[in-house]
Structure 1
Amino acid sequence: MSTNIKCRKISKGKTTGSAIVTKDSISFLGGVDPKTGIVIDKKHELYNQCITDKILIIPSGKGSTVGSYVIYQMAKNNTAPKAIICQNAEPIIAIGALISKIPMVDNPDSDVVTTINNNDNITVDADEALITIN
């Protein structure tokens, strides 16, 4: 049985994929290698894991405004996540998702960081403001 979670649309689109979840905020500048999609921040929970083609679930982003362009570079390199779900989006990741055409939502009506597990099959339908755990 699937579970639906209402949320807020940040960047339009709909996609389905495998979840990668972290309780740590993420900085794309210096935290993720845009050539490989691998988290390179040694202090991050996802260190050495690849976020490419995953549904990235994070509490929020952090760091420099250049992080938006790192996300854009990842999209150009085909190393970006398929979608991003934030508990609370901040402008850096929101702008990165918008300019990269990556579906993104935030403000879910449940704590997705603890509700969704790694490798869960997730559908992000930003247009309908809905997350589905399949």
Structure 2
Amino acid sequence: MNAAVLNEQQTIVIRGRKVVGGVAEGEALVTRDRISGWGGIDPRTGTVVETRHELRGQSFAGKVLVFPGAKGSSGWSAMFHMTRLMNSAPAAFLFNEMTTKMALGAVVTHAPSMTDFERDPLECIETGDWVRVDADRGVVEITKKKQEGAE
């Protein structure tokens, strides 16, 4: 395979169901761990602060957050509402499990949100990929990050 072919960006398209409408795009932040709102995030910075979480110390502000879903108390939606008020919310949510916490959190955050995918986003999206979420059309376009040393 020649270098020109290796440098082409790969785009993957998956479809899902709209939870909150709108269009947003940004760098993906992916975790297989559920996220706790109350005590699990710092709403001022959008940083995960939960002690044993794989994203501890990383901020989801302005990123497309790809994760299984919410965990914890009903305070989840309040914490994510605070991220919107403090301009530290994710650009969009892509999640696998719909719960009342997750639904309310997505609504109060106002971020385009999707679930019920034809293909698991945790299997095809990696942190650093560029993701465009068109929740109104039910389409997610993933541009894979360039692999280092691909030449």
SS in 2 for 1:102: coil
Listed as ranges, the matches of 1:111-122 within 5 Å are 111-122=120-131
Deviation at 1:97, TM superposition (A): 1.4
The amino acid that maps onto 1:43 is: R
SS in 1 for 2:59: coil
SS in 2 for 1:41: coil
Deviation at 1:60, TM superposition (A): 1.4
The amino acid that maps onto 1:131 is: V
Where does residue 46 of structure 1 map in the other structure?
A: 55
Where does residue 2 of structure 1 map in the other structure?
A: 11
Deviation at 1:93, TM superposition (A): 2.1
With normalisation by structure 2, the TM-score equals 0.85
Deviation at 1:28, TM superposition (A): 1.1
Deviation at 1:108, TM superposition (A): 1.1
The amino acid that maps onto 1:33 is: D
Listed as ranges, the matches of 1:49-88 within 5 Å are 49-88=58-97
- Whole-Å separation in 1 of the counterparts to 2:123 and 2:12: 14
- Whole-Å separation in 1 of the counterparts to 2:16 and 2:100: 17
- Whole-Å separation in 1 of the counterparts to 2:60 and 2:108: 18
The amino acid that maps onto 1:12 is: G
SS in 1 for 2:19: strand
Deviation at 1:48, TM superposition (A): 0.7
Deviations 1:28-80 (A, max 9, x none): 11111001111000111101111100100001111111110111110000011
Contact kept, 8 Å, 2:29 with 2:65, in 1: the verdict is yes
Range with bigger deviation, 107-116 or 11-20: 107-116
With normalisation by structure 1, the TM-score equals 0.96
Q: Structure 1: 5+ residue runs without aligned partners?
A: none
Largest Rg, 1 or 2: 2
Deviation at 1:25, TM superposition (A): 0.7
Large movers: runs of 4+ above 2 Å: none
- Whole-Å separation in 2 of the counterparts to 1:99 and 1:111: 25
Give yes or no for the alignment of 1:105 onto 2:117: no
Where does residue 4 of structure 2 map in the other structure?
A: none
Aligned-residue CA RMSD in angstroms?
Answer: 1.0
Deviation at 1:94, TM superposition (A): 1.5
